[in-house]
């Protein structure tokens, strides 16, 4: 009989996340009952939002309880089924958490088509990050041809899609990323017009040079000092879809946003958002993303850790920007 | 022959505004030529936005140049006219600046009806501040019956209208103002449900007690620490029309906004705005404000300084919150 492995939240981080905050456990694996199915998890998605779920501070939704399985999306395969809608061999995605297997009654599981794209893509460019990019850039940011779009965490799962979608729509696109490798990738591989390396120590100057006509849409994944710098470049009636504040996750060093007056002077619209509030536009977004992937117009890069036991370390690395592209864990 | 008096911008403030930044001058007054008219200014409006115009930093529009007449709205009477649309005795408002008279070709002047309300009201509840209140609360903030609305600078020209309009629409209204007199006025005279005295030293606690169901719309006139406090009380999908940052005007002590993550977690929409961008809704707003004034449903209070030479001191007092109600200068 197979044993399931799970990663539990062992304790809440005090400041930076450490591997001590997680615990790997073995639990017995039941067979599916009537109306149930069993999913083998092939990939686990690691995403910045998980950091917020580890705290007990107010968040979008309920946080992870101590000794509970860490929250997260997986992509996998149905390996046993007593369920009318799913059969063995179906490829699925769902929010099954950091574990190797899950029993399900089918709710929240979505069947995906691996003839269009590899299974793991449904955790990234064709999944939550891709939808997040589309919603922020298009539904909230209303990016138009000829406008300047800036995106932070530019080489990441969300940022890389934001920039490429903006290029497809005729925008000028400037990325912000950490280090020459990521910046080079944004320009050479993803086709951004420029990319500012925030680790180079000349953030304000480099940003100014890269945005001679100011900024119309800033897709913000990071908050903090980078937001403050971009606020000096915003145009009148510009928009800031606020997708994440990864720079502020490890609590101790909160950055007060000093250039707040720019919101008034430039009549900026800022909207914090989470993709699950925008279900009405998912079909349109998924159709456009799928078409672009099929036509080879959306490049996509993954950072793959091997084995569930490496998930905590990979997650910690991602929070520090050590990943390069969408971070997943290969479980099989 | 009459002499015109003007207040010029003599120098740009270094930190707080002082009377040295202004200069009172006498200039000869010409008679109107063909197509021109002469306006006697009865009231000058003093408004926080003027502080921004004294700097050379980027602002909504062009700033006041050194030795130029200070920018500002007046209400007055046509005393000579060679203009087809205006006749002697017409009551008008316009952006004629800090002076006793002005020659005009009629552009930017609006005739007002003093049978509906006293002339000076067209600088306040029926003028720019009233429109600003309506646009922020209704067009941007989308305040709905049953929601909680918080407004800062609550007893002021804009804030007092925001709160009363919100009450008329069935909202719960909490003001934030400085000192027991202003707070008492908001509750007893204007009918707010509560008012928090930010000078009492318990801003966070008092705000929490006054907003047991959180905040759905925060009409922000002040920015800074008060904004940071209100951010701890915002509900999911709440809105912040950002109308002013008066707490941040005297440059040196910029407050970094620390609770910025609330924008993300609560999916807050923030929109910096200026009423002149919303001309399409002016007729609707003016109609509603006029009707409410006629019916005695909008109370309105003025702080009146006497004489143009007192305008600089009155303006400095207003920036410090020493006024109580809409600040005007009576010129005649």
Round to whole Å and give the CA distance between B262 and A242: 11
Domains B3-123+301-330 and B128-276 share a fold: no
Which residues on chain A are in Cβ contact (under 8 Å) with B223? 260-261, 264
pLDDT band at B299 (very low <50, low <70, confident <90, very high): very high
For B227, the closest chain A residue by CA position comes to A260
Closest approach of chain A CAs to the CA of B214, in angstroms?
Answer: 13
Q: Say what the pLDDT of residue B251 is.
A: 58
Mutate to test the interface with A, among B47, B272, B273, B276 (most CBs of A within 10 A): B272
Residues in chain A with pLDDT values less than 50: none
Contact across the interface for A269 and B266, Cβ inside 8 Å: no
DSSP per-residue string spanning A153-185: STTSHHHHHHHHHHHHTT-EEEEEESSHHHHHH
- Report the residue from B59, B256, B261 with minimal CB separation from A248: B261
Mutate to test the interface with B, among A249, A263, A278 (most CBs of B within 10 A): A263
Q: Say what the pLDDT of residue A1 is.
A: 60
- Residue A189 DSSP code: T
Q: Is A272 on the interface with B (CB under 8 A)?
A: yes
Q: Is A212 on the interface with B (CB under 8 A)?
A: no
Q: Is A255 on the interface with B (CB under 8 A)?
A: yes
Which residues on chain B are in Cβ contact (under 8 Å) with A254? 258
Q: Say what the pLDDT of residue A251 is.
A: 58
Q: Is B241 on the interface with A (CB under 8 A)?
A: no
Closest approach of chain A CAs to the CA of B123, in angstroms?
Answer: 22
Contact across the interface for B264 and A272, Cβ inside 8 Å: yes
For B247, the closest chain A residue by CA position comes to A261
Is a pLDDT exceeding 70 seen at residue B199?
yes
Provide the number of CB pairs (under 8 Å) joining chain A to chain B. 89
Q: Say what the pLDDT of residue B321 is.
A: 85
Q: Say what the pLDDT of residue A214 is.
A: 98
CATH numeric code, B3-123+301-330 = 3.90.180.10
For B234, the closest chain A residue by CA position comes to A58
Is a pLDDT exceeding 70 seen at residue B193?
yes
Closest approach of chain A CAs to the CA of B30, in angstroms?
Answer: 37
Q: Containing H/E element for A225?
A: helix A224-231
pLDDT band at B46 (very low <50, low <70, confident <90, very high): very high
Which residues on chain A are in Cβ contact (under 8 Å) with B141? none
- Report the residue from A248, A267, A272 with minimal CB separation from B273: A267
| Average pLDDT in chain B | 94
B210-247 per-position pLDDT tens digit: 999 999 999 999 999 999 999 999 999 999 999 988 77
pLDDT band at B84 (very low <50, low <70, confident <90, very high): very high
Q: Say what the pLDDT of residue B52 is.
A: 87
Give the residue from B171, B170, B73, B90 showing the smallest Cα distance to B130.
B73
pTM of the model: 0.90
> Domain residue spans in chain A?
3-124+301-330, 128-276
For A233, the closest chain B residue by CA position comes to B58
| Annotation: CATH topology of B128-276 | Rossmann fold (3.40.50)
Q: Is A264 on the interface with B (CB under 8 A)?
A: yes
For A228, the closest chain B residue by CA position comes to B256
| Interface predicted TM-score of the whole assembly (ipTM), two decimals | 0.89
Mutate to test the interface with B, among A270, A274, A275, A279 (most CBs of B within 10 A): A270
- Report the residue from B243, B261, B266 with minimal CB separation from A245: B261
Which residues on chain B are in Cβ contact (under 8 Å) with A272? 263-269
Token representation of residue A290: 């799928």
CATH numeric code, A3-124+301-330 = 3.90.180.10
Q: Say what the pLDDT of residue B56 is.
A: 83
One-letter-per-residue 3-state SS of chain B:
CCEEEEEEECCCCCCCCCHHHEEEEEEECCCCCCCCEEEEEEEEECCCHHHHHCCCCCCCCCCCCCCCECCCCEEEEEEEECCCCCCCCCEEEECCCCECEEEECCCCCEECCCCCCCHHHHHCCCCHHHHHHHHHHHHHCCCCCCCEEEEECCCCHHHHHHHHHHHHCCCEEEEEECCHHHHHHHHHCCCCCEEEEHHHCCHHHHHHHHCCCCEEEEEECCCHHHHHHHHCCEEEEEEEEECCCHHHCCCCCCCCECCCHHHHHCCCEEEECCHHHHHHHHHHHHHHHHHHHHCCCCCCCEEEEECHHHHHHHHHHHHCCCCCCEEEEECC
Q: Is B267 on the interface with A (CB under 8 A)?
A: yes
Contacts of A118 (CB under 8 A, 6+ apart): none
Residue B287: how many other CB atoms lie within 10 Å: 10
pLDDT band at B15 (very low <50, low <70, confident <90, very high): confident
Average pLDDT over residues B41-47: 97
Which residues on chain A are in Cβ contact (under 8 Å) with B277? 237, 267
A159-173 per-position pLDDT tens digit: 999 999 999 999 999
A215-219 and A234-242 strand pairing: parallel
Q: Is A145 on the interface with B (CB under 8 A)?
A: no
- Report the residue from B59, B256, B257 with minimal CB separation from A265: B59
Q: Is B33 on the interface with A (CB under 8 A)?
A: no
Q: Is A62 on the interface with B (CB under 8 A)?
A: no
Contact across the interface for A242 and B223, Cβ inside 8 Å: no
Per the model's pLDDT, the better-predicted residue between B116 and A245 turns out to be B116
Closest approach of chain A CAs to the CA of B60, in angstroms?
Answer: 5
Which residues on chain A are in Cβ contact (under 8 Å) with B245? 260-261, 264
First-to-final CA distance of chain A: 17
């Amino acid at each position: 009989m197979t044993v399931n492995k799970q990663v539990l939240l062992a304790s809440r981080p005090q400041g930076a996340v450490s591997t001590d905050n997680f615990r790997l456990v073995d639990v017995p694996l039941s067979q599916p009952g009537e109306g149930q199915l069993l999913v083998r998890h092939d990939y686990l998605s690691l995403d910045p939002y998980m950091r917020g779920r580890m705290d007990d501070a107010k968040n979008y939704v309920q946080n992870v309880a101590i000794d509970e399985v860490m929250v997260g999306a997986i992509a996998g395969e149905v390996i046993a089924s007593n369920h009318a809608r799913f059969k063995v061999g179906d490829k699925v995605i769902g929010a099954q958490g950091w574990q190797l297997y899950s029993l399900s009654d089918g709710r929240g599981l979505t069947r995906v088509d691996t003839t269009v794209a590899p299974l793991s893509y449904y955790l990234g460019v064709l999944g939550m990050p891709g939808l997040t990019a589309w919603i922020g850039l298009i539904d909230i940011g209303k990016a138009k041809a000829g406008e300047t779009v800036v995106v932070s965490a530019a080489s990441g799962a969300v940022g890389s899609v934001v920039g490429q979608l903006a290029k497809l729509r005729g925008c000028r696109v400037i990325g912000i990323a950490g280090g020459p490798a990521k910046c080079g990738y944004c320009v050479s591989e993803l086709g951004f017009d420029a990319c500012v390396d925030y680790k180079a120590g000349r953030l304000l100057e480099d940003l100014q040079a890269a945005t001679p006509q100011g900024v119309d849409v800033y897709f913000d994944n990071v908050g903090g000092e980078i937001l403050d710098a971009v606020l000096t470049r915003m145009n009148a009636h510009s928009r800031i879809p606020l997708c994440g504040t990864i720079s502020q996750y490890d609590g101790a060093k909160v950055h007060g946003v000093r250039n707040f007056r720019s919101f008034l002077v430039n009549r900026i619209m800022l909207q914090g958002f989470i993709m699950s509030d925008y279900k009405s536009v998912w079909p349109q977004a998924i159709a456009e993303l799928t078409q672009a992937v099929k036509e080879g117009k959306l490049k996509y890069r993954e950072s793959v850790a091997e084995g569930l036991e490496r998930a905590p370390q990979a997650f910690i690395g991602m929070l520090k920007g050590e990943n390069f592209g969408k971070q997943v864990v290969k479980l099989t």
